[in-house]
């Protein structure tokens, strides 16, 4: 809008010069400049020709940040790289978890159970508890009203007890005597059955003398239990070991599959790093491109300001028309608008780079222009494709995925093969209250599993795995073609970009020479200011094109590196 306004001023002024207005209108303040009478003597100075000053763009001072430093910083701070690295770390732990199942599994357990039945004035508290030790059933005691029962499972018999008592009253006191008899009752071996009878209310004690038959009289556990308060401590421990016998090599194959998965995610991390490096380089070149354009626009503003001053001086001296002054003002206004836009672009591009680096968007830094890369003349696209086939992470991932698919076919065949497992255990049991009731047992088990029929599930899994292999093969061929095309396109773009830079360098040199000649002609009075401004505009365009070609070449070279799996 500002440029349009100035051009309107120029058109109005030129029209007034062609048709001089009456004298009364010579000081019309509605126009930005007074009307000029060319037939009068020295024209009055223009009142609105002071150059509009624009503060030059200055970036806050900051540390130097080269493109290599930016890439290194991004690989440390970028969230995508961090997420990919965590995934690789997680897969490594999964591998350790699953491969650990192929090694011996050892476990140990221990237990301690304490049982307490205290005696009371009315006899043993009601209830019953039976503990087994080496095939011997600990006697069971009930209260005095129900009688006392002792049983032995190992002997294949049960003992039935009955209690009788006689009470004598003398002198207001009474004396009670009791007797308990244990009678074996035939029962099935390894089982125990009990029955009780009581004809009178008895005041039995836990320490009541016991009369036993020959089948239980020699049992020390029963004798000890009958004369001891009911406090038992049952403790024990178990040590077990199991091992899968890899007779078919399936364990080793599974380990290889898991290691391949770790390799796959290692290549995937490299792929993410290459993508981040390419994005950082592209954005860094965008910053350099914006800064170069800013420098060009700043130079253009400086030149047009000098031309405006020169045109004003010439107009005041009567050697140049007012049109030259107004033309210079128009050129300055346009240059200033371009400079403002360039400043905004630089700020935006710098903020974008800081954001990719995971830094504050207003963090200051000083950029460094890298050297322009070159490709040897004898280099060919075929050589670049060979480099890509060796380094491209996506292709390496595809190779690993194909290998995993082949190994999964073998693992699925495991459903048709026998499986062997070996286990062993040692068990220790004891009773603190009965030293003789301690025992240790051990066992070793070998198991063989042979699948016979599963409804065709294993065969279906095998066919599915083979289909996956074919899919991976097709995907790999497609990827090879895509990589070759990408490398060839990037290689051609770099070659063409190099030639384009050379052409623009020549164009800038020619534009500078044209501007130099235009200035000489203008100062000598044989040229016009329009020739100078046109030459300056041509130079600005040539410099812009050169900067664009240079940074486009840098970007294309970065793209070539990425296509080859480099960074």
pLDDT tens by residue, 468-483: 999 999 999 999 999 9
Statement to judge: residues 192 and 94 lie in one domain:
no
CB 501 within 8 Å of CB 553? yes
CB 165 within 8 Å of CB 157? no
pLDDT at 250: 79
Statement to judge: residues 280 and 381 lie in one domain:
yes
| Greater model confidence, 209 or 65 | 65
Residues 99-110 as b or e (16 or more Cβ within 10 Å = b): eeeeeeeeeeee
Residue 300: name the closest of 35, 472, 537, 50 by CA: 537
Q: Which of 164, 193, 228 is the last residue of a domain?
A: 228
- The CA distance from 318 to 460, in Å, is 100
**Which pLDDT band holds residue 438 (cuts at 50, 70, 90)?**
low
**Which pLDDT band holds residue 214 (cuts at 50, 70, 90)?**
very low
- Report the phi/psi class of residue 123: left, alpha or beta, with left for phi > 0 and alpha for psi in -120 to 50: left
205: helix, strand or coil: coil
**Which pLDDT band holds residue 94 (cuts at 50, 70, 90)?**
confident
Statement to judge: residues 158 and 276 lie in one domain:
no
The DSSP line for 364-400 is --EE-PPPPP---TT--HHHHHHHHHHH-HHHHHHHH
What does each C-alpha distance from 464 to 66, 93, 152, 199, 414 come to in angstroms? 51, 28, 62, 79, 14
pLDDT at 463: 92
- The CA distance from 44 to 34, in Å, is 8
Within 13 Å, how many C-alpha atoms sit on residue 2's CB side? 12
CATH code (residue 268): 1.20.1600.10
- The CA distance from 283 to 291, in Å, is 12
| Adjacency order of strands within the sheet including 150-152 | 150-152, 157-170, 173-186
- The CA distance from 19 to 9, in Å, is 16
pLDDT at 231: 60
Tell me: pLDDT of 343 over 90.
yes
Domain-located, residue 237: no
Q: How many residues does the chain have?
A: 567
**Domain extent for 330:** 64-103+249-367+374-563
- The CA distance from 77 to 69, in Å, is 12
Residue 159: in which H helix or E strand, if any? strand 157-170
**Which pLDDT band holds residue 49 (cuts at 50, 70, 90)?**
very low
- Going by C-beta distance under 8 Å and a sequence separation of 6 or more, which residues neighbour residue 49? 33, 308, 311, 312, 315, 325, 329
pLDDT at 219: 59
Tell me: pLDDT of 38 over 90.
no
Residues 370-395 as b or e (16 or more Cβ within 10 Å = b): eeeeeeeeeeeeeebbebbbeebbbb
- The CA distance from 541 to 296, in Å, is 9
Q: How many C-beta atoms surround the C-beta of residue 255 within 10 A?
A: 14
Residue 198: name the closest of 146, 160, 126, 158 by CA: 146
Tell me: pLDDT of 501 over 60.
yes
Statement to judge: residues 216 and 271 lie in one domain:
no
Statement to judge: residues 88 and 126 lie in one domain:
no
Domain-located, residue 84: yes
Domain-located, residue 58: no
pLDDT at 25: 35
Domain-located, residue 172: yes
455: helix, strand or coil: coil
Once rounded to an integer, what is the mean pLDDT over residues 346-363? Answer: 94
Statement to judge: residues 388 and 444 lie in one domain:
yes
Q: Kindly state the percentage of the chain with pLDDT values over 70.
A: 67
pTM here is 0.63
| Greater model confidence, 118 or 548 | 548
Tell me: pLDDT of 197 over 90.
no
- Going by C-beta distance under 8 Å and a sequence separation of 6 or more, which residues neighbour residue 510? 542
pLDDT at 24: 36
Once rounded to an integer, what is the mean pLDDT over residues 300-323? Answer: 89
Statement to judge: residues 268 and 348 lie in one domain:
yes
Please tell me the least confidently modeled range out of 25-29, 82-86, 296-300.
25-29
CB 488 within 8 Å of CB 560? no
Q: Is 31 exposed, middle or buried (0-12, 13-18, 19+ CB in 10 A)?
A: middle
Q: How many domains does the chain have?
A: 2
β-pairing verdict for 366-367 and 64-65: parallel
- Report the phi/psi class of residue 133: left, alpha or beta, with left for phi > 0 and alpha for psi in -120 to 50: beta
Return the ∠ at Cα 330 (arms to 329 and 333), rounded to 5°: 85
- Report the phi/psi class of residue 262: left, alpha or beta, with left for phi > 0 and alpha for psi in -120 to 50: alpha
Q: Which of 167, 193, 228 is the last residue of a domain?
A: 228
Domain-located, residue 9: no
Statement to judge: residues 386 and 535 lie in one domain:
yes
pLDDT tens by residue, 519-542: 899 888 888 888 888 898 899 899
- Going by C-beta distance under 8 Å and a sequence separation of 6 or more, which residues neighbour residue 563? 384, 388, 392, 483, 486, 487, 490
pLDDT at 237: 86
pLDDT at 142: 40
Residue 204: name the closest of 184, 186, 183, 226 by CA: 226
| Greater model confidence, 140 or 498 | 498
- The CA distance from 260 to 408, in Å, is 12
Domain-located, residue 453: yes
Statement to judge: residues 398 and 461 lie in one domain:
yes
Domain-located, residue 193: yes
Question: Where do the H-state alpha helices sit in 19-116?
Answer: 67-77, 79-99
pLDDT tens by residue, 105-161: 898 988 887 776 554 444 444 344 344 434 433 444 344 344 433 333 333 333 444
Domain-located, residue 2: no
pLDDT tens by residue, 502-521: 999 999 999 999 999 998 99
Q: Which of 199, 228, 257 is the last residue of a domain?
A: 228
Statement to judge: residues 519 and 417 lie in one domain:
yes
Query: At 144, phi and psi to the nearest 5?
Result: -70, -30
Strand partners, 108: 239
Mean pLDDT of the chain: 74
Statement to judge: residues 416 and 483 lie in one domain:
yes
C-alpha torsion sign, points 131, 135, 136, 141: positive
**DSSP state, 456?**
T
pLDDT at 429: 78
Statement to judge: residues 207 and 253 lie in one domain:
no
Residue 174: in which H helix or E strand, if any? strand 173-186
């Amino acid at each position: 809008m500002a440029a349009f306004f100035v051009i309107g001023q120029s058109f109005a002024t030129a029209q007034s010069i062609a048709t001089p207005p009456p004298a009364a209108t010579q000081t019309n303040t509605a126009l930005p400049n007074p009307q000029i009478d060319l037939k009068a003597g020295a024209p009055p100075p223009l009142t609105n020709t002071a150059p509009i000053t624009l503060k030059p763009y200055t970036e806050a001072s900051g540390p130097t940040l080269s493109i290599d430093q930016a890439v290194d910083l991004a690989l440390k701070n970028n969230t995508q790289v961090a997420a990919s690295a965590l995934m690789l770390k997680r897969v490594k732990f999964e591998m350790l978890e699953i491969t650990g199942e192929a090694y011996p599994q050892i476990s140990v357990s221990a237990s301690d159970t304490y049982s307490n039945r205290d005696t009371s004035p009315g006899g043993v508290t009601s209830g019953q508890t039976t503990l087994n030790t080496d095939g011997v059933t600990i006697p069971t005691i009930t209260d005095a009203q129900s009688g006392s029962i002792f049983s032995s499972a190992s002997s294949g018999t049960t003992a039935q007890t009955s209690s009788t008592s006689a009470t004598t009253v003398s002198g207001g006191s009474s004396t009670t005597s009791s007797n308990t008899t244990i009678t074996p009752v035939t029962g099935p071996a390894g089982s125990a059955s009990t029955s009780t009878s009581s004809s009178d209310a008895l005041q039995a004690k836990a320490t009541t003398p016991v009369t036993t038959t020959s089948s239980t009289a020699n049992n020390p556990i029963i004798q000890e239990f009958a004369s001891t308060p009911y406090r038992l401590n049952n403790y024990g421990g178990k040590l077990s070991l199991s091992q899968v016998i890899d007779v078919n090599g399936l364990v080793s194959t599974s380990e290889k599959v898991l290691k391949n998965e770790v390799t796959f995610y290692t290549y995937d991390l490299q792929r993410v790093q290459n993508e981040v490096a390419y994005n950082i380089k592209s954005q860094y070149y965008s910053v350099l491109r914006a800064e170069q354009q800013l420098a060009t626009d700043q130079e253009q503003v400086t030149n047009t300001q000098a031309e405006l001053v020169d045109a004003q001086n010439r107009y005041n001296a009567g050697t140049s028309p007012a049109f030259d002054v107004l033309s210079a003002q128009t050129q300055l206004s346009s240059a200033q608008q371009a400079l403002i836009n360039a400043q905004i672009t630089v700020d935006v591009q710098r903020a974008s780079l800081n954001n990719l680096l995971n830094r504050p968007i207003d963090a200051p830094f000083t950029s460094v222009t890298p050297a322009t890369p070159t490709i040897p003349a004898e280099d060919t696209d075929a050589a670049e494709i060979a480099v890509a086939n060796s380094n491209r992470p996506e292709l390496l991932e595809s190779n690993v995925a194909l290998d995993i698919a082949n190994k999964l076919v073998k693992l699925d065949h495991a459903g048709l093969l026998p499986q062997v497992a070996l286990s062993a255990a040692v068990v220790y049991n004891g009773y603190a209250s009965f030293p003789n009731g301690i025992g240790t047992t051990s066992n070793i088990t070998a198991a063989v599993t042979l699948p016979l029929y599963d409804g065709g599930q294993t065969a279906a899994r095998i066919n599915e795995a083979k289909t996956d292999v074919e899919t991976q093969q097709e995907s790999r061929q497609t990827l090879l073609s895509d990589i070759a095309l990408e490398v060839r396109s990037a290689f051609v773009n770099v070659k063409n970009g190099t030639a384009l830079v050379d052409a623009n360098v020549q164009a800038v040199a020619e534009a500078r020479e044209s501007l130099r000649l235009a200035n000489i002609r203008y100062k000598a009075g044989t040229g016009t200011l329009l020739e100078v401004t046109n030459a300056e505009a041509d130079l600005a365009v040539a410099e812009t094109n050169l900067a664009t070609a240079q940074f486009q070449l840098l970007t294309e070279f970065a793209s070539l590196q990425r296509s080859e799996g480099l960074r």
